[in-house]
Amino acid sequence: MAPRSSAPLPPLSIDPTALLSDAISFSGSYPVTIGSNTVLHPRSKFNSTDGPIIIGSNCIISEKTQLIAPGVDGLVLEDFVLVEVNCHIQAARIGEGSSIEVGVKVGKASRIGNNCTLSPLSTIPDGTNLPDFTVIYGENDRRIDTSDTVTARNETLLAHIDCLQKLLPNKAEKYTR
């Protein structure tokens, strides 16, 4: 399914090494930047109506996930961010090496630190500032991750991206006019 020709795409700047699958929906008028080696799954949604969206390198954005820029300052996803299926993200910033797991809702203009983990179905209220290495688990409980597994996780993420690049057909040219 091609993106609707009726609605014009926002200005996109896509790194040539990024992998964009079919049927990604871009809406809004602010620019969307996608970094190198990043994988966008089909049916992920990017809404840049209120501000720009900047996605770093080596990220994965999964299906049915919505990234909505909360304001003019935009939504910034730093490098090595894994966003799983069905998330709803309106954060201002998501730090490096964070993983946002299935069905997480990140409230408006919240800032997630580096190397955070939001476990499935957790909710982050609007305007929250999460310090680095925070783990949200269980009933929105928090703890600080001291496991020192960042490098290992980034390595797995790279392997994940590697695998996806082999499996997913790249339709990036559809979005680059």
Partner 1 sequence: MDISIGVLDCCILEALWHSRLPKSFNLILEDRPQTRVGHPTSSNYHFTMSASFPYIHISCPCNEERPQIMAVDSARPLSPTKSPTKRDFAVPVPSTPLTPVKRRLFPGTSSFDGTVATSGDADGERNDEEDDEDEENNFDPHDQRAAFSLFPIENLLYCEDCHQIRCPRCVTDEIVCWYCPSCLFEVPSSTVKSDGNRCTRNCYLCPICTALLVVIPVNHIPSSSSAAEQQQGPFNLFCSHCHWTTSDLSPPLQLEKPTSISAQLAKVTPSAHDAEFNRLKQHYAQQLGNAQEDFTNSPAALTRLMGLYTGLGAGGSGHAGGRKGRGVKKLEMKEIDRPREVVEEREMEIVEQMAKLGIHATTNTKQRLNQPHEPRFLSELRPTAVLLRTKRSKRCRACRHILVKPESKVQTTRFRIRLVALNYIPSLTIKRLDPSIQLSSLVPHKTHRFLLTVTNPLFDPISVSLLTPRYTPGTDYPSRVTILCPEFDVGANTDVWDDALMSTRTPAPVPTPPPQGNKDPRMATVYEQKRNYTSVVIEVVPAEIPDTRVARIRDERLLEIPIFVRVEFEAEVDREDEEGGGGGTSSTSGKHGAPGSSGGGGNPLGREKVEYSYWCVVGVGRVGDPVEGVVASEPNTPVRTPVATPVKAPRTPGVSKTPLRQQVRA
Give CA–CA dist 27/32, Å, rounded.
10
* Minimum CB distance to partner 1 smaller for 30 or for 137: 137
Q: Cα-flanking dihedrals φ and ψ of residue 34, to 5°?
A: -125, 125
* Minimum CB distance to partner 1 smaller for 21 or for 117: 117
Question: Under DSSP, is residue 153 helix (H, G, I), strand (E, B) or coil?
Answer: helix
**86-145 binders of partner 1 (CB under 8 A):** 117, 119, 135, 137-143, 145
Q: Nearest distance from residue 148's CB to partner 1, in Å?
A: 8
Q: Nearest distance from residue 63's CB to partner 1, in Å?
A: 22
HSE-up of residue 58 (Cα within 13 Å, Cβ side): 16
Helices (H), the chain: 150-167, 172-175
HSE-up of residue 93 (Cα within 13 Å, Cβ side): 13
* Minimum CB distance to partner 1 smaller for 4 or for 142: 142
Count of residues of this chain found to bind partner 1 when the rule CB under 8 A is applied = 19
Q: Cα-flanking dihedrals φ and ψ of residue 68, to 5°?
A: -120, 125
Instruction: Work out which of 146, 167, 169, 177 binds partner 1, going by CB under 8 A.
Output: 146
**9-48 binders of partner 1 (CB under 8 A):** none
Taking residues 149 to 168 in sequence order and writing x for each that binds partner 1 by CB under 8 A, - otherwise, the string is x-xx--x---x---------
* Minimum CB distance to partner 1 smaller for 128 or for 170: 128
Q: Nearest distance from residue 75's CB to partner 1, in Å?
A: 25
Which stretches of the chain bind partner 1, using CB under 8 A? 117, 119, 135, 137-143, 145-149, 151-152, 155, 159
